[in-house]
């Protein structure tokens, strides 16, 4: 385990330079440096007080039964319209442009990787930037359709608009999972950042990695059990580590 930020950056730099195929797997900690709160930390959404537990509000059953309460929470606590890409987002996009990163797999729904310029982004849990009508199938791009003044956004057909995010009780999209597995199995270096790896089935995707080196950048120091690769645990800011990499 590196004992300094400089040492951590040097380690990741060497591994990226030596790798032929690198993939990044990220979670909420990548976006906390952009001002978006995570869920499970001391100040995260799950530690705040609401009329219903956030896990309940963000469930499919609650959405169907109480769309007004769901959207009140979604608009004020999940959607952060003014958030900008942070140093980790920008560094990953630069690595991809330079041909040093095959793609990003993210548990986040904020779209900040794309805003930073990343092109191959696999969003395991969907995106706040897309929504649809579950009845007529109409698709809505952007946030205008769900951020209006009415308590519950409605499709022109009269039905409730659904954000394209994976809620509790929802399965993950099979095609998305397959794309993530393909990216992971082809990599010889996997960098995991900003995730506690406790949300399944997404966290289980790490088990498909068969490469040589697994880097975990997480301030709490947790790392997945992995016996096939050499695991390097870095307890530094993910933005500081990745932001310090030389791309050229």
Fold assignment, 37-79+127-165: SIR2/SIRT2 'Small Domain' (3.30.1600)
pLDDT at 185: 97
Q: Domain 1-36+84-125+172-248 is classified in which CATH homologous superfamily?
A: TPP-binding domain (3.40.50.1220)
Give domain limits for the chain.
Answer: 1-36+84-125+172-248, 37-79+127-165
219-238 residue pLDDT tens: 776 655 555 568 899 999 99
What residue spans of 111-155 are helical by DSSP H? 112-116
Q: Maximum distance among all alpha carbons in the chain?
A: 59
Contacts of 198 (CB under 8 A, 6+ apart): 40
Question: The pTM is what?
Answer: 0.92
Buried b (16+ CB within 10 A) or exposed e, 96-126: beeebbbbbbbbbbbbbbbbbebeebbbbbb
146-181 residue pLDDT tens: 998 999 999 999 999 999 999 999 999 999 999 999
Catalytic one among 113, 125, 130, 232?
Answer: 125
pLDDT at 111: 97
pLDDT at 210: 92
Name the pairing type of β-strands 126-133 and 161-165. Answer: antiparallel
Task: Write the burial class of residue 49 (CB in 10 Å: 0-12 exposed, 13-18 middle, 19+ buried).
Answer: exposed
pLDDT at 230: 86
**125 is an active site residue:** yes
Ranges of the chain with pLDDT below 70: 39-50, 221-229
pLDDT at 203: 79
**What rounded mean pLDDT belongs to the chain?**
90
């Amino acid at each position: 385990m590196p004992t300094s930020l400089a040492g951590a950056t040097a380690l990741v730099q060497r591994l990226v330079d030596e790798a032929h195929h690198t993939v990044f797997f990220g979670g909420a900690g990548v976006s906390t440096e952009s001002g978006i709160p995570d869920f499970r930390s001391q100040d995260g959404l799950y530690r705040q007080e609401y009329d219903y537990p956030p896990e309940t509000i963000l469930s499919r059953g609650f959405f169907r039964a109480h769309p007004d309460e769901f959207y009140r929470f979604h608009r004020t606590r999940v959607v952060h319209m003014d958030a900008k890409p942070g140093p980790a987002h920008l560094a990953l996009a630069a690595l991809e442009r330079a041909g040093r990163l095959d793609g990003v797999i993210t548990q986040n729904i904020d779209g900040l990787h794309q805003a930073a310029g990343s092109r191959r982004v696999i969003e395991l849990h969907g995106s706040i930037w897309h929504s649809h009508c579950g009845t007529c199938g109409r698709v809505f791009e952007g946030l205008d359709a769900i951020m209006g003044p009415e308590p519950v956004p409605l499709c022109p057909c009269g039905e409730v608009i659904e954000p394209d995010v994976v809620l509790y009780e929802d399965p993950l999209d099979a095609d998305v999972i397959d794309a993530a597995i393909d990216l992971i199995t082809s990599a010889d270096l996997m960098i995991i950042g900003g995730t506690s790896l406790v949300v399944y089935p997404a966290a289980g995707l790490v088990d498909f990695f068969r490469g040589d080196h697994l880097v975990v950048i997480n301030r709490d120091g947790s790392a997945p059990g992995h016996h096939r690769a050499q695991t390097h645990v870095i307890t530094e800011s993910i933005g500081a580590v990745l932001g310090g990499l030389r791309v050229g």
